[in-house]
């Protein structure tokens, strides 16, 4: 996890740091003094084609309070630059636990790419609860083949109703973590090599990386319980939630 933040780093190293009387603020000072702070990156390449003839669906997620895992899955496609071309990564993430449930990497941004990640997500599913699948209005998600897979598993379809990519904020955030914190675009490697790196990144993210919106639990630990309130990303679209 080469670009992990100071708060998460302190969480992982706190037993050792306490032995040498280093708290979170002192750790931040040490990291800053050694020019090791990670500058934030905010950039994206548009991968959504919403100008197509397939049916589009209403947004069922905005304004909904999410209380437990596998209530809402969010899905998105992002691109990763290899040594000679762009490759496309499709991911499905649980909105409550932030666990990456399924993912697929390939040369083409087609329906087979998203169907592979959906199949993995269904294989990893743990709870038999009512589930909503949320995505943008890209042709891959709207097409007949993909929607048929959702209907067979009794999953409701929800889609963004605005062109701003940050209306699907959780999926966009996870895209950024996997690409930027694990420095996938810095490798400039082949598809086979990149698939190995993505496998390693997703495993580390799910099982090792503390998540701020999961009360500093890993996504896997957050997914295995149902008691904690979810902390949503603070933006104009998402707000703090609490149990009532």
Query: What CATH number is associated with residue 159?
Result: 3.30.420.10
- Residue 233 domain flag: no
Which has the closest alpha carbon to 97: 138, 62, 126? 126
CB 181 within 8 A of CB 1: yes
Q: Render pLDDT for 3-54 as a digit per residue (tens, 0 to 9).
A: 787 888 888 888 898 888 888 888 888 888 887 777 666 555 555 555 657 8
Task: Specify the pLDDT at position 50.
Answer: 57
Task: Specify the pLDDT at position 30.
Answer: 87
CB 123 within 8 A of CB 84: no
- Residue 139 domain flag: yes
30 and 104 housed in the same domain: no
Q: Provide the residue range defining the domain that includes 10.
A: 1-39
Whether residue 111 is predicted with pLDDT greater than 70 in this model: the reply is yes
Q: Render pLDDT for 77-110 as a digit per residue (tens, 0 to 9).
A: 999 988 888 999 999 999 999 999 999 999 999 9
Please count the residues of the chain.
244
- Residue 144 domain flag: yes
Long-range own/partner contacts, residues 182-189 (CB < 8 A, 24 or more apart): 182/1, 182/2, 182/3, 183/2, 183/3, 184/80, 185/80, 185/81, 188/81, 188/82, 188/83, 189/82, 189/83
- Residue 66 domain flag: no
- Residue 128 domain flag: yes
124 and 193 housed in the same domain: yes
95 and 200 housed in the same domain: yes
- Residue 102 domain flag: yes
174 and 77 housed in the same domain: yes
Q: Render pLDDT for 46-75 as a digit per residue (tens, 0 to 9).
A: 555 556 578 889 999 988 899 999 999 999
pLDDT confidence bin for 225, thresholds 50/70/90: very high
pTM metric for this prediction: 0.81
Residue 87 DSSP SS3: strand
pLDDT confidence bin for 239, thresholds 50/70/90: very low
Radius of gyration of the chain (CA): 18
103 and 35 housed in the same domain: no
Task: Specify the pLDDT at position 52.
Answer: 59
Q: Render pLDDT for 157-206 as a digit per residue (tens, 0 to 9).
A: 999 987 555 568 899 899 989 998 898 877 778 899 999 999 999 999 99
- Residue 176 domain flag: yes
What φ, ψ does residue 72 adopt, rounded to 5°?
-140, 130
- Residue 65 domain flag: no
- Domains in the chain, number: 2
């Amino acid at each position: 996890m080469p670009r992990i933040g100071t708060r998460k780093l302190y969480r992982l190293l706190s037993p050792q740091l306490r032995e040498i009387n280093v708290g979170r603020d002192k750790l931040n000072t040490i990291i800053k003094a050694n020019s090791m702070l990670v500058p934030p990156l905010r950039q994206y390449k548009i991968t959504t084609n919403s100008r197509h003839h397939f049916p589009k669906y209403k947004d069922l997620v905005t304004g909904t309070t999410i209380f437990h895992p596998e209530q809402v899955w969010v899905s998105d496609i992002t691109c990763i630059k290899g040594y000679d071309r762009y490759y496309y990564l499709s991911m499905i993430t649980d909105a409550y636990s932030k666990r990456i449930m399924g993912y697929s990497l390939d040369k083409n941004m087609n329906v087979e790419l998203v169907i592979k990640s959906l199949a993995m997500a269904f294989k990893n599913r743990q709870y038999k609860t009512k589930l909503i699948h949320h995505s943008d209005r890209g042709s891959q998600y709207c097409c007949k083949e993909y929607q048929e897979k959702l209907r067979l598993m009794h999953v409701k379809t929800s889609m963004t109703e605005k062109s701003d990519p940050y209306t699907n904020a959780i999926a966009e955030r996870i895209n950024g973590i996997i690409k930027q914190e694990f420095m996938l675009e810095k490798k400039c490697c082949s598809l086979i090599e990149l698939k190995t790196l993505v496998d390693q990144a997703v495993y580390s993210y799910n099982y090792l990386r503390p998540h701020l919106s999961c009360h500093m639990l890993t996504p896997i630990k957050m997914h295995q319980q149902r008691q904690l309130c979810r902390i949503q990303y603070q933006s104009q679209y998402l707000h703090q939630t609490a149990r009532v």
